[in-house]
Structure formats: structure tokens, C-alpha cells
Amino acid sequence: MLDKHPPETPTTAASDMHEAMRLGALERYDVLDASREAPFDRIAGLIRMVLDVPIAIVSVIDGHRQLYKGCDGLATDEAARKDTFCRHTILQETPLIVRDATKDPRFANNPYVLDDPHFRFYVGVPLRTSDGHNIGSVCTVGYEPREFSEREAVILREFAKLAMDELELRRHASRDALTGILSRRAFVEQGSRVFSLSRRQHVDLSCIMFDIDHFKAVNDTFGHAAGDMVLSSVAGQCAELLRDTDILGRLGGEEFAVLLPSGRNGAAEVAERLRASIEATDLVIGSAGLKVTASLGVASLDSSVLTLQELIERADLAMYASKHAGRNRITIWNSADGGPARSRRRVLKAGQIVFNDRMSTIDCTVRSLGEDGATIDVSSAAGIPERFVLVIRADGFEARCQIVSQAEKRLELRFA
């Protein structure tokens, strides 16, 4: 959402550093590339039933949004951070209780209070990590003023602990809970060992990255259960097509990766088989049929690739090229076409998009950062100019940027 005022001046350097540390803690849990998930939906459903409230939400908060991991009573999956009650909750250790938002100066002019859905009552408890960082919240919301007892606050705190227990289990799991294939952490661990061996022994190694096309539309149209069915089906089909020596993982959301001991041509053949198999998928959701396709990128190990992350980044760039070329296709990364790939590190930082002679800002979350550019996530790409200044206050960072590609709410930037 567009703010018609100059970029916000930080209150103190300490608050920026505190937020940077909080986002660093959130990054460990790797939960930002998928929204609502069944275990957290169940927790939200229990909160709503036990406390007899209209809405219950389990969420995490990054640099620009509140992402709902579980929700009962609302149809949306996220909200702009600056408009949320929960941005206040993550600043404290105790529950935030708002009995009547119209009488609380912090929230009386909030758009969710003044306009639909006209929230009046709110209680939020922070999701607190073992090392003391509030990465999100568990909250209840209502349309009428209400008292909230100490006993009810204790119950909500226990549900917050339950949600954190689930996040901790996922963090240490080697298998993705939904698809049964490797989690991001396990894929990187196994892949790093294979990469080091391949580079040392000068043997072939390639990476295939692929992303399910228009996946958000599947969730929006058919619901999250249908989205889960698509993810499980795609993962199962790919696992059947791959060899025991190939490594398959879900890196997050609808994004998957394969590491295989093949050269460029062999990896391209495997990628095409994966693409064709996914395209041949016919799922039935209720009485409706659903066609599924994917965009794939292939990159192979050569002397210029020094780390597994660089190989993944090249495959990722090729995958985005497939998306921008029309989707449902494969692209092979080629330095002659794309120029030398400069390494970007995976980060999670609060950023601001600054433009209009520094009179307008839009919050964003920086997901990768390098010498040549960055990847950012936004709540909406509407109103963002092609060129702007990217600011990361916690790092004292500022750079002029140009948008080079866009996939829904993710923007790839090149520094000018």
C-alpha cells in the first residue's frame, strides 16, 4: 500500500538492529514461501472454538506483511504489516489486549476499524523463539467490544507455545511434512556434500529448479486443500521419474529443486520429462478438472561455480526466464545469454522502496542481496515504478534499482 510521505526516519539505530535480529530469527524457520498450512489451521480452529471468538489467526511477520500460517474466520492469507494490530504485539512479551479498538488511540483510525471488516476487539500473544525473538503472533479478533480474562489469556499463550512447537519440529525435520520429499535444510545439507565431491572429482552435476505455474490462483480458486493436493501430486510424480542418485527437495511454497549427477544435456532431458509429466497431470477438485504446469530452469557445474548456492541461483534465474517466456517450458542457464552470474546471498531484511522525489515509500522484504542486484517481495506490485531507490535502514544501505523481472509479488532488481 502506498504511503504519501517521505521515507520514515528511524527512531533509533537500536530499533533497526532489533528488527534485523528478529528477521534473522524468522529466517531460520523457512516459512515465508507458503501461507496457510493444515497444522496451523487446526490450531486456529481450536482457538476459535475454545475461546468462542469470531476469528483466530496464527501468523508470522516479515518486513512488509503479516502472513497467515493458520486462520479460522477470515478468507485472506496476509495483510500489510503497517495496518495490523500484530505489529504492536511483536514489540512486547505479554499479551496485547484491546477491548474496544475505537477507544484505543493506537487503533481508532486503523482502516480495519474504520472500514470493513470493522474490528473492535483484539488479543494477541507473540510467537517467541527460545532465544527471545518475536517472529509472529497468535491472535483473536472480534466485531464487538469484549472483556478478556486472565484465564483466557493463559489459554491463548498455551496455543502460542503449541504453534512454536510445530515450527521447531519443522525446522529440524529432514522431510517436508506435506510432500514427504527433502526439506530445504536437508536438501542443502545433502546437496552441499555432493557438490563438494563433484567439484573435487571434476564430475558432472546439474541443478533443476521448478515452480508450479499460477499456484496462487489454485489456492484462491479451489482452496488450500486443493493446493496441497497439487503439491503432493507433483512431488510424487517427480520422485517416481528420478533416479536414486538424484536429490529432490521442496525449497518452499511451490518451488522444488533437483540435484543430479548429469551434464547439461542429460539434465535438460530430465527436466523435459518432469515438465511433460507435470503437464499430463489431471486432478479433479470437486466436480472441476485442474490442469497443472510448471516452469523449469537448468544449470550445470563448471569451473566458475564455487558454491552450491551459486548453482542454485543460476538454475533459479533460468526458471524465471521460463516464466517470463510464457511458462510451461524449460530454460538452460547460459552465461553468453545472461552474463556472468554474480553470487547473491539469501537474506531476510526489512526494506523500503523510495520514489517520487523521496516523497513516496512502499514497504518490502529483501529476500536475496548481491553486488549486482536484489530480490524483494511486496504486498502488491501496483504503483511501483520501474526505477526506484531500495533502502535497508538496518544496514545503512541505499541503492538505485531497476526492475528486470516480476513474478506475482516477487521482483528481481538490478542495481543501476
Q: Is 142 found in the same domain as 55?
A: yes
Q: Could you give the 3-state DSSP secondary structure of residue 341?
A: coil
On whether residue 15 sits in a domain, the answer given is no
**Where does a domain end: 338, 373, 394?**
338
Q: What is the pLDDT of residues 168-200, one digit of tens each?
A: 998 889 999 899 999 999 999 999 999 999 999
Q: Is 331 found in the same domain as 189?
A: yes
On whether residue 257 sits in a domain, the answer given is yes
Written as nine digits, the cell of 313 is 541461483
Q: Is 351 found in the same domain as 300?
A: no
CA dist 61 and 362 (Å) reads 16
| Number of other residues whose CB lies within 10 A of the CB of residue 346 | 14
* Closest by Cα among 92, 62, 58, 96 to 410: 62
pLDDT(4) > 80: no
* Closest by Cα among 325, 324, 173, 326 to 250: 173
Exposure string of 5-16, with b = 16+ CB inside 10 Å and e = fewer, is eebeeeeeeeeb
pLDDT(69) > 90: yes
Task: State which residues form the domain around 70.
Answer: 24-172
CATH number of 294's domain: 3.30.70.270
Q: Is 105 found in the same domain as 199?
A: no
* Closest by Cα among 323, 31, 58, 343 to 176: 31
Q: How high is the pLDDT of residue 229? A: 93
Q: How high is the pLDDT of residue 5? A: 37
Q: Is 191 found in the same domain as 334?
A: yes
Q: Is 405 found in the same domain as 320?
A: no
Q: What is the pLDDT of residues 202-232, one digit of tens each?
A: 999 999 999 999 998 898 888 888 999 999 9
Written as nine digits, the cell of 84 is 495490523
* Phi, psi angles (nearest 5°) of residue 341: -80, 120
- Residues in CB range of 23: below 8 A, 6 or more apart: 62, 63, 348, 349, 350
Written as nine digits, the cell of 112 is 480495519
Q: How high is the pLDDT of residue 344? A: 75
* Closest by Cα among 372, 374, 366, 375 to 393: 366
Q: Is 350 found in the same domain as 291?
A: no
Q: Is 45 found in the same domain as 136?
A: yes
On whether residue 14 sits in a domain, the answer given is no
Q: What is the pLDDT of residues 141-163, one digit of tens each?
A: 999 999 999 999 999 999 999 99
**Where does a domain end: 172, 192, 225?**
172
On whether residue 49 sits in a domain, the answer given is yes
Q: Is 155 found in the same domain as 265?
A: no
With vertex at residue 249, the alpha carbon angle to CA 246 and CA 253, rounded to the nearest 5 degrees, is: 155
Q: Is 238 found in the same domain as 218?
A: yes
CA dist 257 and 146 (Å) reads 48
Q: What is the DSSP string of 24-84?
A: HHHHTT--TT----HHHHHHHHHHHHHHT-SEEEEEEE-SSEEEEEEEES---SEEEGGG-
pLDDT(11) > 70: no
Q: Provide the number of structural domains found in the chain.
A: 3
Q: Is 202 found in the same domain as 302?
A: yes
CATH number of 369's domain: 2.40.10.220
Report how far Cα 101 is from the mean position of its chain's Cα atoms. Answer: 30
